[in-house]
Amino acid sequence: MKLYEYEGKKIFSIVGIPIPKGQVVYSPVNVPGKVVVKAQLLEGGRGKRGLVRVTEDSFSTISDMMKEGISTFLIEEFVSHDREIYISAMMDRESGNPMIIISPNGGINIEESKDVRTFVIPLDRTLMRYDVDAMEKYVGYRGLTPIVQGLLKLLLEYDAELAEINPLAITERGALALDSKVILDDNALFRHEELLNELRREKPASDSYVELDGDIGIIGNGAGLTMATMDLVKLMGGNPADFFDVGGGADMQKVAFAIERVGTNPRVKKIVINIFGGITRCDEVAKGILDGHSKVNKPIYVRLTGTKEDEGKEILTKAGIKVYEDALSAIGDALR
Ligand code: GDP
Ligand code: MN
Consecutive 10-residue averages of pLDDT for the chain (336 residues): 95 97 88 95 91 95 86 94 96 92 89 90 93 97 97 96 97 96 93 86 67 93 90 96 86 88 92 93 95 93 96 97 96 97
CA distances from 150 to 16, 74, 75, 227, 263 (A): 6, 22, 23, 47, 45
Closest CA to 135 of 126, 125, 145: 145
Q: How many CB atoms lie within 10 A of CB 187?
A: 9
Residue 108 in contact with ligand 1 by CB distance below 6 A: yes
Distance 256 CA to ligand 1 centre (A): 35
- Which among 61, 110, 170, 179 is the best mutation to test ligand 1's pocket, defined by most ligand atoms within 8 Å of the CB? 179
Q: Name 11's Cβ contacts closer than 8 Å, sequence gap at least 6.
A: 3, 154, 158, 180, 182, 195, 199
209 is catalytic: no
Residue 50 in contact with ligand 1 by CB distance below 6 A: no
Q: Which atom of ligand 1 is nearest to the CA of 106?
A: 14
What is the location of CATH 3.40.50.261 in the chain? 208-334
Residue 137, pLDDT score: 97
What is the location of CATH 3.30.1490.20 in the chain? 21-77
Residue 206, pLDDT score: 61
Residue 203, pLDDT score: 58
Residue 76, pLDDT score: 97
CATH superfamily of 21-77: ATP-grasp fold, A domain (3.30.1490.20)
Q: By the 8 A CB rule, do 265 and 241 touch? A: yes
Residue 294, pLDDT score: 92
- The residues with which 103 forms a beta bridge, in sequence order, are 86
Q: Name 153's Cβ contacts closer than 8 Å, sequence gap at least 6.
A: 15, 16
Residue type, 10: K
Q: Which CATH class is domain 83-201?
A: alpha beta
Question: Backbone phi, then psi, for 265, in 5-degree steps?
Answer: -65, 115
77 is catalytic: no
CA distances from 324 to 220, 282, 284, 329 (A): 14, 13, 17, 7
Cis peptide upstream of residue 20 (ω within 30 degrees of 0): no
CA distances from 251 to 219, 257, 319 (A): 14, 10, 19
Residue type, 32: P
Q: Which atom of ligand 1 is nearest to the CA of 38?
A: 7
Considering the four listed CATH numbers 3.40.50.261, 3.60.15.10, 3.20.20.150, 3.10.580.10, the one that applies to the domain covering 208-334 is 3.40.50.261
- Which among 108, 165, 172 is the best mutation to test ligand 1's pocket, defined by most ligand atoms within 8 Å of the CB? 108
